[in-house]
Amino acid sequence: MTIIGDLERARHLALAAQEESAKEILLALLAQVEEADRDDLACEVLAQLAEIYLVRTAYDGVVEGIRRIRECLDAYTEIRAGRRPDLAGRVTMSEREIDHLVCRYTRRTEFLAAGLAAANGDHAGAAAHLRTLIETAGDFEDLAGEHRGLICHARILIARGLCDDDMYADSVPVWTEVLGLLDEYARRGDVESDHLFVHGALSYGRFCVETGRLDEAQPWLRRAEARAGAREWRLAGARAQLERAAARWADGDIAETQTLVHQAYPAIAEHVRAHDVSRSWLYFGLIRFRVGALDEADECWGHAERHWREIEKPLHIHRILLQRSWIAIMGGDFAAAVEKVAEARELLDSYPRHSWLQYARLDDQLGNIWRADALADLGLDPNTGTVSADPDSREYRSAMVKLKQAADLKVPAALAVDAVRYSISDAGARMRWARCVSAPLLAGAFAVAKEWENAALVSELIEYHSARGAFTTELGDDRPRPVEGAWSSIATAAVPVEGSWRSWPRHHRCRRTAGSPAWGRYRRFGWTRPVIRSCAVIESWPGSGTAAR
């Protein structure tokens, strides 16, 4: 009874995110269950330990736990099949008890394997383990509820893993299965059901924020926070506050973002969740950048990058590199800024699950650097918006060359992402894509065309914009406006699921009745430039060694 009680205590500690305390109890129990010669209890200890290691990203421990459980199950399977008479005489369990053991822990190992595969980006492998988990039959009524819970939990982990790779569209069918069960678990009220509900609601709320469905996210996040508070699960409550902070930032509510992140951070730091720690530092940096504290912002983003590197999150590292390039831009060190972008591009190139949208946004940021460098040459006064360079000066001519480079990056990227908006039939989904993706990039394309003084391109963009439909400017009196500036969303930009395809949408090209050479050149550039290889523009950047400033 002491072993059973300790197992229950360890489980409750793990559900409350007190994994270190739970692990100490479980490690101490291993020797006791071996002495008691209880393989069923040994499997339970190993399964709980492996789940803790999965949560804490100690994946070698998960692999070892799965291996040891399967070794035990394989031995009992051999005994039941009559192939190990040498062991049969030592077995104290009945045949029914052996079948119960094999059924229960086969399911537990498949759940762990599915979660591990999802965490490692092996989404096909995760789906295969989920199918095996679902199909593992067993006529044991006492295991039916646990089986349903394992399937639901595995689906949450798989959906979250897909979202971590920006594969939001692929996660939608999985979320559909999960949402059908979350309310049922919320009504039950036992600790395991509450844990599943809170974990699922937090993960789905984050999915909604990351895909631009801010209004849909709020009820799930608030319910998760309330249930976590009732259970005194501090980390889960803090994670809900962090997701709400992300939503408030996307809505332009800087004050509430700051309040929520500062409330959430102590518990997140105490529980040493590297990914959430990094996300907290990201928002700390954004808030400091907003008030002009650039050195402090860069320090915050440096902490975020370091933690993401520790847990090997290449997509998040590439985003924080793009975000940090704004520090160099604001300091006038444009060569350093482009080095950040080049490093981010290398990460994308080496990552097998990159998407065209990530490259489009990266190209847009590189265009921002060229544009900022050009405006510096023009002697831009940020207070008045005027430039001082004489049209006949060397600085003016240099600026025009750089603005052309900026346009060659920003215009095709803007047209490519807006082609997706044109293809979306649902009005709400189309507006999400416009607000989160198309509008920011098109605004930058208009700006650089105007600053380049390319009247023909400006006219064609206006004609394109008029033909394709304008974006609403009516946000409502009660809705904050998004934080102004391209810097504000480069590491937090939403990816609406309706457009998260993994290839350029060639079948939705920009169409125009009367073509022109200039427009055709930009359009062809948008559809034919190699989006998965390094851009030659980087190599010709001033200060790179291949061109003189």
Tens-digit pLDDT profile for residues 52-87: 999 999 999 999 999 999 999 999 998 887 887 777
Q: What is the pTM of this model?
A: 0.87
Give the pLDDT score at 518. Answer: 36
Contact between 522 and 411 under an 8 Å Cβ cutoff? The reply is yes
Residue 251 has pLDDT above 60, yes or no: yes
Residue 304 has pLDDT above 90, yes or no: yes
Contact between 62 and 117 under an 8 Å Cβ cutoff? The reply is no
Residue 515 has pLDDT above 50, yes or no: no
Exposure string over 81-99, b if 16+ CB within 10 A, otherwise e? eeebeeeeeebeeeeeebb
Q: Which two tokens stand for residue 439?
A: 């509008």
Residue 406 has pLDDT above 70, yes or no: yes
Residue 524 has pLDDT above 50, yes or no: no
Q: Which two tokens stand for residue 478?
A: 């009660």
Give the pLDDT score at 528. Answer: 43
Residue 459 to residue 471: CA distance in whole angstroms: 18
Neighbours of 387 (CB within 10 A): 17
Give the pLDDT score at 546. Answer: 31
Band (pLDDT 50/70/90 cuts) for residue 469 is low
Long-range contacts of 45-51 (CB under 8 A, 24+ apart): 45/7, 47/105, 47/108, 47/109, 47/112, 48/7, 48/10, 48/11, 48/14, 48/22, 49/23, 50/112, 51/14, 51/112, 51/115
Q: Which two tokens stand for residue 148?
A: 């349903």
Band (pLDDT 50/70/90 cuts) for residue 531 is very low
Q: Which amino acid is at 340?
A: K
Cα separation values, 128 from 114, 132, 333, Å: 8, 6, 49
Give the pLDDT score at 519. Answer: 41
Residue 533 or residue 483, greater confidence: 483
Contact between 341 and 349 under an 8 Å Cβ cutoff? The reply is no
Closest residue by Cα to residue 410 from 420, 402, 422, 398: 402
Digit-coded pLDDT (tens) for 121-138: 999 999 999 999 999 988
Backbone phi and psi for residue 348, each to the nearest 5 degrees, phi listed first: -65, -45
Burial of 337 (0-12, 13-18, 19+ CB in 10 A): buried
Digit-coded pLDDT (tens) for 258-279: 999 999 999 999 998 999 999 9
Give the pLDDT score at 111. Answer: 99
- What is the chain's mean pLDDT, rounded? 87
Residue 444 to residue 418: CA distance in whole angstroms: 13
Residue 167 to residue 178: CA distance in whole angstroms: 17
Contact between 399 and 417 under an 8 Å Cβ cutoff? The reply is no
Residue 23 has pLDDT above 90, yes or no: yes
**Region 482-509 average pLDDT:** 63
Q: Which two tokens stand for residue 317?
A: 């590292």
Give the pLDDT score at 422. Answer: 77
Burial of 520 (0-12, 13-18, 19+ CB in 10 A): exposed
Least confident of 233-247, 283-297, 404-418, 503-517: 503-517
Q: Which two tokens stand for residue 342?
A: 């080049």
Assign 203 to helix, strand or coil.
Answer: helix
Residue 220 to residue 165: CA distance in whole angstroms: 22
Assign 36 to helix, strand or coil.
Answer: helix
Give the pLDDT score at 81. Answer: 79
Digit-coded pLDDT (tens) for 176-201: 999 989 999 999 999 999 999 999 99
**Region 7-14 average pLDDT:** 97
Residue 173 or residue 420, greater confidence: 173
